Structure 1
Amino acid sequence: MDLGLVLSGGGARGIAHIGALQVFREKGIEPDILAGTSSGALVAALYAFGMEPEEILDFVKETEIFSLRKYALNKPGFVDTEKFYDRFLSSFSEDDFSVLNTPILVTATNLLTGEPVVFSEGELIRPILASAAFPGVFAPVKIGNSYFVDGGVLNNFPVDLVTGRCEKIIGSYVNPFEKRDYKDFKHSLSVLERAYQIRASRDSLAKFKNCTLVISPSGLKRFNIFNLKDLDTIYQLGYEATLRALEAWPDGFPRRK
């Protein structure tokens, strides 16, 4: 394969991936395979199905998947991902990986065994929801006889899944790791998010060297992972960062004929 595209997890910050995809569309750059975690898996699946980037942005706004207003207090997590199943089903022609125009690899974490799992065939929607099921916030997703949570717990930037399979790899990484002031932590969720970010960044940053190009928009640290009011701003940050990154590679990636 010529080009692999990897989309990291990051909750609402993953909207920056959509801005990146819009630039790829405009430049005629098409990946041969995508790998995604959490919000990156969600965006990858919709894009691989054939949605235009602006349609994906509208979908995220309409579903409110990054909102904490949808509660499921009777489950071990606040937000019940099953509430989103029908909305996803209405967007795909069938609940199966085979309906996608471009192959994708979706990561999730098996809550019972503690092992990372990669989904690439069969049932499509629940693996996507599982990949984005942030522990303690989203209820675990049952697939088969097991339960799964966010793929970012063990693999938030799945570059390894396409390494050796593609001549070139573009990584879109939306979890900038910077020092924080204690005053930034205003509630328990912000502490949980920070702890999660610390764990994920240790492995993710080491994978940058395996990418031909890494797009990591600046300015994302001010947005928390459950943020609905700034989606257009996050989208624009991803768009602008991708334009700047590609300036160094004007002829470096396969383009549509």
Structure 2
Amino acid sequence: MNKIALALILLILPFSLAYTSPRKKVGIVLSGGGAKGVAHIGVIKALEELNIPIDYIAGTSIGAIIGGLYSIGYTSEQLETIVKQTDWINLLTDKVSREKIPFPFKSNDSKYLVSFPFNNSEKNGGIIKGKNISQLLHQLTEGYQNVTNFDSLPIPFACIATDMARNQKEVIRFGKLSEAMRASMAVPIVFSPIYSGQKVLIDGGFKDNLPIDVVKSMGADIIIGIDVQSELSDADNLHSIAGIANQLMLMICQSSLDESTKDI
């Protein structure tokens, strides 16, 4: 979203809410965007400072994680603390903390930067299984692990994943919250998908990186969409496998974003 447009929304919205009876319902939509997703916290903080209520949340990828945690009561300040205190390098690997590794295996542990899951007997599907991030999300959602209807959360929530098996958008509003957030950010090849029955769930950005229609269907009258997706790289930055893979994902996510905002 254009920063000037967002600023105008934040200025006008309190007045529109104050003079509306009954009060219109406000929904926020948080896009995917990797590390740039931290910016979502700043927008939420601005809404808090303006005393603008949030009635519904929908998010994709990092937006699903920020939105999911906010929906169960984390404040913007608490979210900032989580971001600052998390060991992201360890989190984005499958390495177990060295103090938990039996001694005979410690000498070999440091020799390998990353392991590749070529064992077909196990459902891996990615370089990183995502055990550490799944564990963190499980811990952060403690107290809501038995809630299976996301409409029952303090703020009704929905997140977006992509079902590879059916090549379609998966709107997740039921199930285990930590698993739903993990599915929404499962960048293919990098992270193992979430296998749910016949569904193979990966990053929702491939089908809908800014799920405006979802939060609208939840009942929002006023929708604030925050798009933190990166710009496409130029030719000078497309000389590595990582750069090309990232560009490919951005192209797909941009197409899904264009589709979801075409009627706005």
Shift of the 206–86 alpha-carbon distance from structure 1 to 2, 3 Å rule, reads closer
- Whether 2:201 is the aligned partner of 1:148: answer yes
- Does the 8 Å CA contact 2:29/2:210 hold for their aligned counterparts? yes
Closer/same/farther in 2, CA of residues 160 and 65 from structure 1, 3 Å limit: farther
CA distance in 2, matches of 1:124, 1:144: 17
Indicate if the aligned counterparts of 2:29 and 2:225 stay in contact, CA closer than 8 A. Answer: yes
Taking a change above 3 Å as real, the CA distance of residues 20 and 65 of structure 1, as seen in their structure-2 partners, is farther
1 or 2 for the larger relative contact order (CA 8 Å, sep ≥6)?
1
* Mapped contact 1:14–1:40 kept (Cα < 8 A): yes
Q: Is the 8 A contact 2:30 2:59 kept in 1?
A: yes
Alignment CA distance shift 1:48-1:69 (3 Å):
same
Residues of 2 paired with 1:185 and 1:145: CA distance? Answer: 36
Report what 1:22 is aligned to. 45
104-113 or 140-149, which deviates more: 140-149
Q: Deviation at 1:65?
A: 7.7
Counterpart selection for 1:108 from 161, 171, 181: 161
Q: Distance in 1 between matches of 2:35 and 2:230?
A: 13
Instruction: Verify the 8 A CA contact 1:6 1:157 in the aligned structure 2.
Output: yes
8 Å contact kept, 1:49–1:102: yes
Deviation at 1:2, TM superposition (A): 1.2
User: Which whole-Å CA distance do the structure 2 matches of 1:66 and 1:192 have between them?
Assistant: 22
Structure 1 residues 12-36: Cα deviation after superposition (integer angstroms, max 9, x where no partner):
1111111111111111112110110
Structure-2 change in CA distance of 1:121 and 1:195 (3 Å): same
1:64 matched to 2:82: no
Residue pair 1:37, 1:108 contacting (<8 A) in 2 also: yes
Distance 2:165 2:115 in 1: 21
1:57 is aligned with what amino acid? Answer: E
Q: How many matched pairs?
A: 210
The change in CA–CA distance for 1:123 and 1:73 in structure 2 (over 3 A counts) is same
1:88 correspondence with 2:131: no
| CA distance in structure 2 between the aligned counterparts of 1:141 and 1:167, rounded to whole angstroms | 32
Contact 1:63 1:87 in 2 (8 A): no
Alpha-carbon distance, 1:49 to partner: 0.8
- The worse-fitting range, judged by mean Cα deviation, of 34-43 and 80-89 is 80-89
**Offset of 1:191 from its aligned partner?**
1.2
Q: Which amino acid aligns with 2:135?
A: D
Matched-pair contact (CA < 8 Å) for 2:31–2:61? yes
> Secondary structure in 2 aligned to 1:148?
strand
Structure 1 unaligned spans of 5+: 212-257
Whether contact under 8 Å (2:165, 2:198) holds in the other structure is no
Deviation per CA, 1:184-218: give whole Å up to 9, x if none. 2353122111111112212314544666xxxxxxx
Q: Considering only CA atoms, is the larger Rg found in Structure 1 or Structure 2?
A: 2
Report the equivalent of 1:125.
178
Aligned to 2:116: 73
Task: Confirm or deny that 1:50 pairs with 2:73.
Answer: yes
- Shift in CA distance, 110/65, structure 1 to aligned 2, threshold 3 Å: farther
Q: 1:200-237 CA deviation, whole Å, 9 max, x = no partner?
A: 212314544666xxxxxxxxxxxxxxxxxxxxxxxxxx
Q: Percent identity?
A: 28
Task: Quote the residue 1:227 is aligned against.
Answer: none
Could you tell me how far apart the structure 2 residues matched to 1:31 and 1:54 are? Answer: 16
